[in-house]
Chain A
Amino acid sequence: MDHSGPLLQAREISKSFSGIRVLDDINFDLRRAEVHALVGENGAGKSTLMNIVSGVVRPDAGEILWDDRPIRLDGPRDAQALGISFVHQELALVPQLSVAENIFLGRHPARFGFVNVGEMYARARRVLKELGCQLDTRQTVAQLSLAERQFVEIARAVAFKSRLIIMDEPTAPLADHDANALFQCIRLLRSQGVSVIYISHRLKEIFAISDRVTVLRDGKHVLTQPTSQVTMEGLVRAMIGAKLKERLASSSAGAIKAEEALSIRGPLNLTVRCGEIVGLAGLAGAGRTELLEWVFGAGEISTRQVFVGGKLVSLRNPVDAIRNGLALVADDRKAKGLVLSASVLDNIALAGGRSRFYIRRSQEKQDAQRWVGSLHIKVAGLDQPIIYLSGGNQQKVVLAKWLYAGARVFLLDEPTRGIDVGAKVEIYDMIRALAENGAAILMASSEVEELMGLADRIIVMHRGRIAGELARTEATEEKIMHLATGAAN
């Protein structure tokens, strides 16, 4: 077999859904033992292209070659048989089963229909060891952290001698140092001859891990270059066709009033003033999400004493928090922020519409429409089921919900997670606009550049405690990481 040609070639692939051209004459090739990054805004066509490569969807036109032979994929099984695996953003594991059982899900080593349990565990151990992972194969997946679950998914792909592993936003739920372990794993796979297609919005990672990068925009191929030959700006410009740096540059701080909007005394001491954006940095497990949810009354039942607007209030649950003008934009909008079975209007009115018993539809629609307009939410109509909106627009609906409810203190947890660059910038603008209007913002994020661009002050957490605080002018990535890893102690 000739090992010098490309492993995978997609030629002139086109695909339309409901009359909309999603992929337009795409040419894409993947070499053997290559880590190839695929970037582009939501709607650029990355997921569709990968769905075609992994057999989930058939292209309208074009062909795919594997090992220089044209192939026809009638379903994911055909792709898996060739050695193509897809690790999705939403991990497809069964939490109640063990690590080994998940690795061999659907493909257990069996004889005459009886699973060979010993062999299953032995092979699982071997695969994990190859990946440099220390997990106990007998643990149930429910007990694992997100980062560990990711390893199980990858082990699944490796156990079946995959030659191509497609990873969709693998680091979205991870903080920086978990991501490093993942990168080690990817490098190991590459050294073993496996190719990886890596889809990510985190451009820093592209530079850390990939050999080549391909940019798609609006269904068209924009560029494919060795990563060493592109710059961050060049990439972003290719993705959104505009200069990002200007838009991310921090504007001079709007007037921060002297009034305290939110103040917490013990277990931590923290204050946010009106018009201020306070960033919350830290590694996974530092306690940022826990802190925000505690303030909001979302944690276990206990009464917390918090100063809102200078007054001491008792918050027992989210109802109390909302009544006092607090808002929580949680880290997982699908699980915690939106009712996917409902319409856009019902989601927007969910938190604020509670003052009266009877709904005044026309008034509600008017108010909701106002927010849809000012947040530039792309909807076909207020009655559209929210499940059809893109991630960025869904997140905007979450923000609209809190604006509709009249919140003045915003607790944001990873507000731009899983959102493409274009929408991210819009959300940054919105956050700044909120602050300029006098709202107080406490924002947790794993993306340090995001915090440095937006926050007036950055508080760094480590193991449930505040490790330190940095003003915008003195904050650097090293200092933040220093505090976040506890090296300062």
Chain B
Amino acid sequence: MAGLLRKLGPLLALLILCAVLAGASDRFFTADNLFNILRQSSVNTLVSLGQLVVIITAGIDLSVGSILGLCCVLVALLMRSGVPPLFSVIAVITIGTIMGAINGVLLTKLHLPHPFIPTLGMMNVARGLALVISGGFPISELPLGFRLLGAGRIGWIPTPVILVATFCGAFYVFLGRTTVGRDVYAIGGNPQAARLSGVPVDARLILVYALSGLTAAAGAIILAGRMNSGFPLAGVGLELDSIAAVVIGGASFLGGVGTVSGTLAGALIMGVLRNGLNLLNVSAAWQTVVIGIVIVAAVWVDVVRQRAARKRND
């Protein structure tokens, strides 16, 4: 029962939130609006998946927003220079993954004390490069085929939603059903014991940060498609949104704990909140205040639940 509550907690919160908002505004529960929410949450959800894997290892990735910005600019630039969209996308995903891997290499080979440091550095480097490459200006008018990725539909489901669903499925299988995924949880739970049990810790950490870079690049593709432009300030603040989604979803900064379903619920809670408050004509500024309160409240609920579970088992 307790395990079930932990797994479904954030999902339950999401449903309750939806119920409340449906009651508060009759424009909330329409198919159009719901797909809107999914579309608007897609970038954050994607990036949060990468952040989740990093946080499970008791790490943190502050550079995801900046890597997204850089990739956004790069993909637009490549396509404007005549590179076919498919190759541009592949190239940019590769670059994003490599930048993430660089974070991992810096952390493990330079023996930096905490992932805060290399990712903070990368956050600045990537953003700076994005501004340098773009000259500070957005690069617009992207090929139609490419834009479908961010703004199109397959049937009546928006393309980004399908993409995000696929990534969620892939990460779920990765974390829950593969030995590498189990290694990731072990490293977060006890890196020394993991190492002594044969987990190649450095290799796994580099992989984890590379995955985070990959999801940032994927997010950039969707965003560029939706905005029809590669703009250097894309993703500013996204690292904090992704951390918020992961944390609301029940992951622990101490490592070893966290699920894809929780992170998905966390990202959707933030998307639903923003959308709902919009419909209720709450200003963007106040929305930010509400989200801050929700983050603390969500983690506190999890803490209370854990302590109750521990008391029951004593």
Contacts and interface: CB of A to CB of B under 8 A. Distances in A.
Nearest to A402: B197
Nearest to A355: B179
Given A18-B314, A319-B200, A322-B198, A341 B182 contact: no
Contact of B196 (A18, A330, A359, A388): A330
Interface stretch (A4-12, A127-135, A345-353): A345-353
Interface stretch (B28-36, B126-134, B142-150, B187-195): B187-195
B190 A340 contact: yes
Given A322-B198, A337-B196, A17 B314 contact: yes
Contacts of B196: 296, 298, 318, 328, 330, 336-337
B307 interface: no
Contact residues on A (Cβ < 8 Å of other chain), bracket:
20 to 34
Nearest to B3: A383
A168 to B, nearest CB: 18
A442 to B, nearest CB: 16
B313 A18 contact: yes
A36 to B, nearest CB: 27
B298 interface: no
Interface in B164-205: 177-180, 182-183, 185-186, 188-190, 192-200
B313 A358 contact: no
Contacts of A354: 179, 183, 198
A350 B178 contact: no
A401 B193 CA distance: 12
Nearest to B191: A339
A142 interface: no
Nearest to A338: B193
B240 to A, nearest CB: 25
Interface in A267-313: 296, 298
Interface residues of B, number: 26
Given A18-B312, A319-B200, A337 B193 contact: yes
Contact of B182 (A296, A298, A335, A349): A349
Contacts of B183: 354
A114 interface: no
B91 interface: no
B85 interface: no
B313 A357 contact: no
A358 B198 contact: no
Which of A328, A358, A401 has the most C-beta atoms of chain B within 10 angstroms of its own C-beta?
A: A358
B295 interface: no
A335 B190 contact: yes
B194 A339 contact: yes
Contacts of A323: 198
Given A18-B313, A358-B177, A359-B177, A341 B197 contact: no
Interface string A403-425: 00100000000000000000000
A358 B194 CA distance: 19
A92 interface: no
B195 A318 contact: yes
B249 interface: no
B188 to A, nearest CB: 7
B262 interface: no
B162 interface: no
A111 interface: no
Contacts of A340: 189-190
B102 interface: no
B308 to A, nearest CB: 13
Contacts of A318: 195-198
Contact of B179 (A322, A342, A356): A356
Contacts of B199: 350
A405 B255 CA distance: 25
A400 to B, nearest CB: 12
B193 A346 contact: no
Given A18-B312, A357-B178, A359-B182, A341 B189 contact: yes
A339 B200 contact: no
Contact of A341 (B177, B185, B312): B185
B185 A342 contact: yes
B177 A339 contact: no
Nearest to B198: A322
Contacts of A349: 182
A356 B179 CA distance: 7
A351 B180 CA distance: 12
Nearest to B252: A341
A298 B195 contact: yes
Which of B180, B189, B312 has the most C-beta atoms of chain A within 10 angstroms of its own C-beta?
A: B189
B65 interface: no
A346 B195 contact: no
B50 interface: no
Contacts of B314: 17-18
A342 B256 contact: yes
Contacts of A358: 177-179
A339 B178 contact: no
A388 B309 CA distance: 12
B257 interface: yes
Contacts of B200: 317, 319
A341 B194 contact: no
B195 A339 contact: no
Contacts of A351: 197-198
Nearest to B255: A341
B83 to A, nearest CB: 33
A319 B195 CA distance: 8
Interface in A340-378: 340-342, 346, 349-351, 353-354, 356-359, 361
15 contacts: A18-B312, A18-B314, A296-B196, A319-B198, A319-B200, A336-B196, A339-B194, A341-B189, A341-B255, A341-B256, A342-B189, A346-B182, A346-B186, A350-B197, A351-B197
Interface of A: 17-18, 296, 298, 317-319, 321-323, 328, 330, 335-342, 346, 349-351, 353-354, 356-359, 361, 388, 401, 405
Shortest Cβ-Cβ A-B pairs, 10 listed: A341-B256, A341-B189, A339-B189, A322-B198, A351-B197, A350-B197, A339-B190, A339-B186, A351-B198, A319-B198
